[in-house]
Amino acid sequence: MALKENSEAIFSESPGKIALRTLRKDKRALFSLAILGFIVAISLLAPIYSHFIAHTDPFNSTLDATTTIGGKVVPVLEPSTTGLGLGVTPIGPTWNLRGYFLGADGQGRDVLARLLYGGRNTLFIGLSAGIICIVLALLIGVVAGYRKGWIDAVLSRLLDVIWAFPVYLLAISLSVVLLTSGLTIGFIHIGPGSFALPIFIIGIVYIPYVARPIRAQVLALREREFVRAAVGIGAKDSTIIFREILPNIVPSILVFIPIIVALCMLTESALSFLSIGVQPPQASWGTIINDGLALLYTRPLVGIAPGLLIVLTAASLNLYGDAVRDALDPKTRARGDA
Amino acid sequence: MRRSFRLAIPTFLSALLVASMLAGGGAATAAGTGMAPYDPTHAGGTVTLVAAAAAGSLDPKINYTAEYWELYQASYDGLLGFKYGDGKSSFEIVPDLATALPVMSNGGKTLTFTLRSGIKFSNGAPLTVADVKASFERIFKVSSPTAGSFYNGIVGADACLKVPATCKLDKGVVVDPKKSSIVINLVAPDETITSKLAVPHAVINPASAPVKDAGTTPIPTTGPYMFKSYDPNKLLVMVRNPYFKEWSHDAQPQGYPAEIDYKFGVTPTAQVTAVENNQANWVYDPIPADRLNEIGTKYASQVHVNSLTAMWYLPMNTNLAPFNNVKARQAVNYAIDRAAMVKIFGGSQLAAPVCSFLPPSFPGHVDYCGYTKGATPDKPAKAWAAPDLALAKSLVKQSGTAGQAVGIVVSDDDVNKQMGVYLQSVLNSIGYKATVKPISGNIQFTYIQNTKNKVQISVSQWYQDYPAASDFLNVLLGCASFTPNSDSSINMAGYCNKPFDAQMQKAMGFGITNPAAGNTLWGQLDQQVMKDAPVAVAFTPKQLDFVSSGTKNYHFSLQYKMFISQLQTK
């Protein structure tokens, strides 16, 4: 009896509403969203922290700066006083939000302030690249799958070419070339330090990973009865695509979004770590890990903190992607309801 | 040269040496502490050196880096060499492939040598005077970086500099196979000629050596070691030269290790760890800042800190905006916080801020700084005290270059990258839009020399080749050192000021007759050229050598730094 009532309830709602309802009940989704929300919120608050709380400029070197700890003024970069007196070590965590909460980096900059700004940049680039990737992949996948013939052949080979390169190798190659002198397309010039470059590069390299499954889905959908019926009654191609095809691939897209955004974010961090993503003095979690690499022995937190944030964000996005997939999958949902 | 220091024979020593030779002498002029007699019980084993990157071509006529000049010392020989000795004794010039120091005649314009007999190259071929002549011609044929600055005084060099491919020094280097004699004729006396003949660019290669950059192909050697293989991405291997027999303990003593391996691609921090764990004997790259305190406390007995006559500096391209404007260049000089750069380098135990071109305690050096708070190039202070950002910003504004993009090219090791990021911050703060371009240390030094790469400003280092002011001023800022579109254009600023060049020639001429007047003039030229500010001098570094606990017999030469061939692992 309970099963019958559930079935009636399911049939009385749209698939979207059912998925949303399922998602709201999913603890994984709520947990991952909470973490993501927290990370996004603190990242957005970066200017407030640096200007009004820590009173620091995270983009300028301040090698002669001082700070106050326990009423005592100390240099942010402390010269060694032991042994042979070699080396200068950045100050460690003060655990005081008013300055150098997580310590300083090799340039005397507040690590927390850079971490928050870095989060903004990493998330922005990951999200932007992810959206570009999804939109272009959707366009290519739908056109290739629906039109078939030579258009499909050309687009598929193009995807094959991109796919043939290992993702990171392709991204590194593009970055090295484009970051040297920027990108000029006609009258549009993108400078070497612009975020548009990593966004463009990362967005491009993941297109085949989304476009391929979409194309396959469209190829299958265009042979289904409801599409054939639409063709039979003389519906235009655009009508068929927007009213019959797209609504049926939306669930796949929704599942792809968090996964691709997480991948793009990880790629951005990797490229920035290799100095071919976000360019200094701008920060991203990848560049901060790179900065931290030089301080791994004395100030490991500089490298560990952004690493932890990357792990948390990527894991949350993947967890949320899993929850979305389950919410949109009738079989899983039915199993869960049963 | 970069990241190496050259010999420093104080000019008075050099002058004494020349005076002695003019008098027909042939003996070394300065007594010093040489190496202890060879002890075969310590021979054998492998010395492993580690570096982040190789240093480019292995050709001794081409390579101009400390990384390889230290190796050439144990493998190649010139007619003259720098003595194997500690401290100032290493400044002493001694006969190497020549039987004695040259007899100078014709007012110092003719140097006569006799070649030692019985020496063979590592390929078994005997060393002859023909090899000597061919080697001097090869300097020009391969466009050695110092061809125009060190050896342009040889008769016939002018033509060779114009058309290197057909270089003939029939009148400049006259050889007699029967007498094994070599006569080098100069167009004018040169007080530093003996030093110039002792550096690796003047080593003797077989006449059959290629008349182009040999690249990764080893050229046969005469010294105790020869190059067995070279993969710039991985490993350089040196093994004993089977034909080597010690002919002068001062010039080229027998080496201890059976093999010397130079591993590349090891990050500086991994290099330190390898030495701590006895997996390597010595670290080439600057020690990462976060390891300095550790090695200075836990491994203090394995650390050797030695003074250098060297500088870290920022060459600014005087032919490219914005630094084709003198005010823009002066602004950079005012803006940089030299104390901050010292901190990045490792602190006051390892470096000291300077802003004069000639390093402290170097011949001709004058204590002055025109680019510090409260001073001007016309009214300099005694020493650098603090940056003057307000004046720097004002100069940038006056120059009309504010807002321009500036690319800073640095090596990609930690210290250089940090310098680049700091410089970017400074340039942005005075009104430019700066970007940092870290590139592999393997190519950065040659990349920043080539005008094709349009480098505006870079971070570079200069370590003396030989102990005379000309090695800094004439080599780095002389017109002859500027070769557009070449990787061998050591005048990275592209600064060519003819009247200044003429003054330098005058100073070099003084050196042989009146060294004191020469040094005074060099000091004046230093201050004069810094008014044009083609470079910004940042600090003078010290050499920190970190060796493993199993590495013994460390000796430091003021000319070539550590004597690699004298390290003992057994």
Superfamily (CATH) of domain B80-202: Dipeptide-binding Protein; Domain 1 (3.90.76.10)
- Are the Cβ atoms of A84 and B429 closer than 8 angstroms? no
Chain B residue numbers with beta carbons less than 8 Å from the beta carbon of A80 are: 292-293, 296-297, 347
| Alpha-carbon distance A171 to nearest alpha carbon in chain B (angstroms) | 18
- Are the Cβ atoms of A86 and B288 closer than 8 angstroms? no
**ipTM (interface pTM):** 0.84
Those of residues 273-292 in A touching chain B at CB distance below 8 A are 275, 279-281
- Tokens representing B525 are 């030229």
- Tokens representing A209 are 């990973």
Chain B residue numbers with beta carbons less than 8 Å from the beta carbon of A77 are: 343
pLDDT in tens, A68-84: 988 899 999 999 999 99
| Alpha-carbon distance A264 to nearest alpha carbon in chain B (angstroms) | 24
> Residue B173's closest CA among B161, B163, B186, B160?
B186
Q: Nearest CB to A84: which of B303, B343, B417?
A: B303
The residue of chain A with its CA nearest to that of B424 is A281
What is the rounded CA–CA span in Å between residue B404 and residue B323? 10
Chain B residue numbers with beta carbons less than 8 Å from the beta carbon of A180 are: 437
- Are the Cβ atoms of B346 and A64 closer than 8 angstroms? no
- Are the Cβ atoms of A63 and B269 closer than 8 angstroms? no
The residue of chain B with its CA nearest to that of A292 is B290
* CB under 8 A, 24+ apart: contacts of B372-375: none
- pLDDT score of B32: 47
- pLDDT score of B28: 34
Mutation for B interface: A64, A66, A78, A86, most B CBs within 10 A: A86
What is the rounded CA–CA span in Å between residue B25 and residue B441? 44
How long a stretch of residues is chain B? 570
- pLDDT score of B4: 36
- The strand pairing partners of B47, in sequence order, are B260
- Tokens representing B521 are 């003039």
What is the rounded CA–CA span in Å between residue B158 and residue B160? 5
The residue of chain A with its CA nearest to that of B298 is A83
Q: Cα A263 vs. chain centroid, distance in angstroms?
A: 6
Mutation for A interface: B341, B345, B421, most A CBs within 10 A: B421
DSSP letter at B35 equals P
What is the rounded CA–CA span in Å between residue B477 and residue B494? 8
| Alpha-carbon distance B342 to nearest alpha carbon in chain A (angstroms) | 10
pLDDT in tens, A33-61: 999 999 999 999 999 999 999 999 999 99
Q: Nearest CB to B347: which of A79, A294, A296?
A: A79
Torsion, Cα B38 B39 B44 B49, to 10 degrees, reads -60
| Alpha-carbon distance A66 to nearest alpha carbon in chain B (angstroms) | 13
Those of residues 330-369 in B touching chain A at CB distance below 8 A are 337, 339-340, 343-344, 346-350
Give residue B42's identity as a one-letter amino acid code.
H
Give residue A333's identity as a one-letter amino acid code.
R
Chain B residue numbers with beta carbons less than 8 Å from the beta carbon of A298 are: 290, 293-294
Q: What is the secondary structure of B50-119 as a DSSP string?
A: E-SS--S---TTT--BHHHHHHHTTT---SEEE--BSBGGGG-EEESSBSSSPEEEGGGTEEEEEBPSS-
What is the rounded CA–CA span in Å between residue B495 and residue B503? 15
Give residue B545's identity as a one-letter amino acid code.
D
| Alpha-carbon distance A189 to nearest alpha carbon in chain B (angstroms) | 14
Q: How far is CA A230 from CA A142, A227, A235, in A?
A: 17, 5, 5
Chain A residue numbers with beta carbons less than 8 Å from the beta carbon of B287 are: 86
Q: Residues B80, B246: contact at Cβ < 8 Å? A: no
CATH of B310-543, one of 3.10.620.30, 3.10.105.10, 3.40.50.10880, 3.90.1170.30: 3.10.105.10
Q: How far is CA B161 from CA A5, A165, A214, B167, B471, in A?
A: 97, 47, 65, 8, 19
Those of residues 427-466 in B touching chain A at CB distance below 8 A are 428-429, 435-438
Q: Nearest CB to B424: which of A84, A281, A298?
A: A281
- pLDDT score of B511: 66
- Are the Cβ atoms of A86 and B350 closer than 8 angstroms? yes
Q: Nearest CB to A88: which of B269, B343, B405?
A: B343
Query: What three-state secondary structure class fits A260?
Result: helix
Domain ranges of chain B: 11-54+230-299+544-566, 80-202, 310-543
Chain A residue numbers with beta carbons less than 8 Å from the beta carbon of B290 are: 87, 89, 294-299
Q: Residues A295, A106: contact at Cβ < 8 Å? A: yes
Query: What three-state secondary structure class fits B231?
Result: strand
Rg (Cα) of chain A, in Å, rounded? 25
According to the CATH classification, is domain B11-54+230-299+544-566 in 3.40.190.10? yes
| Alpha-carbon distance B270 to nearest alpha carbon in chain A (angstroms) | 11
Q: Nearest CB to B297: which of A59, A83, A106?
A: A83
pLDDT in tens, A244-260: 999 999 989 999 999 99
Give residue B92's identity as a one-letter amino acid code.
E
What is the rounded CA–CA span in Å between residue A294 and residue B189? 50
Contacts of A157 (CB under 8 A, 6+ apart): none
H-helix or E-strand spanning residue A90: strand A88-90
Please state the pTM of the whole predicted model: 0.81
- Are the Cβ atoms of A295 and B289 closer than 8 angstroms? yes
Backbone dihedral angles phi then psi of residue A50, each to the nearest 5 degrees = -70, -35
> Residue B189's closest CA among B539, B476, B518?
B518
pLDDT in tens, A148-184: 999 999 999 999 999 898 888 888 888 877 777 778 8
Mutation for A interface: B342, B409, B425, B440, most A CBs within 10 A: B425
Any CB–CB contact under 8 A between A69 and chain B? no
- pLDDT score of A266: 96
Contacts of B275 (CB under 8 A, 6+ apart): B50, B281, B282, B283, B302, B546, B547, B548
- Are the Cβ atoms of A280 and B424 closer than 8 angstroms? yes
Name the band, by pLDDT with cuts 50, 70 and 90, for residue A279. Answer: confident
Q: Nearest CB to A296: which of B287, B290, B298?
A: B290
- Are the Cβ atoms of A279 and B435 closer than 8 angstroms? yes
- pLDDT values of chain B reduced to their tens digit, one per residue, 570 residues: 554 332 233 333 344 344 444 443 333 333 346 788 999 999 999 999 999 989 999 999 999 888 899 999 999 999 999 999 987 788 899 999 999 999 999 988 999 999 999 999 999 999 999 999 999 999 999 999 889 889 999 999 999 999 999 999 999 999 999 999 999 999 988 888 999 999 999 999 999 999 999 999 999 999 999 999 999 999 999 999 999 999 999 999 999 999 999 999 998 889 999 999 999 999 998 888 889 999 999 999 999 999 888 999 999 999 999 999 999 999 999 999 999 999 999 999 999 999 999 998 788 899 999 999 999 999 999 999 999 999 999 999 999 999 999 999 999 888 899 999 999 999 999 999 999 988 887 789 899 999 999 999 999 999 888 878 888 999 899 998 898 998 888 999 999 999 999 999 888 877 667 878 888 999 999 999 999 999 999 999 999 999 999 999 999 988 888 999 999 998
DSSP letter at A206 equals T
Give residue B45's identity as a one-letter amino acid code.
G
- Are the Cβ atoms of A281 and B294 closer than 8 angstroms? no
- pLDDT score of A124: 97
What is the rounded CA–CA span in Å between residue B462 and residue B3? 6
> Residue B559's closest CA among B20, B32, B191?
B32
| Alpha-carbon distance A228 to nearest alpha carbon in chain B (angstroms) | 57
Rg (Cα) of chain B, in Å, rounded? 23
Any CB–CB contact under 8 A between B418 and chain A? yes
- Are the Cβ atoms of A61 and B340 closer than 8 angstroms? yes
> Residue A114's closest CA among A125, A100, A126?
A100
H-helix or E-strand spanning residue A170: helix A167-181
Name the band, by pLDDT with cuts 50, 70 and 90, for residue A12. Answer: low
- pLDDT score of B2: 52
> Residue B439's closest CA among B419, B413, B406?
B413
- pLDDT score of B76: 98
Q: Nearest CB to A192: which of B294, B425, B435?
A: B435
- Are the Cβ atoms of B544 and A64 closer than 8 angstroms? no
What is the rounded CA–CA span in Å between residue B490 and residue B488? 6
Chains A, B: CB pairs < 8 Å: 115
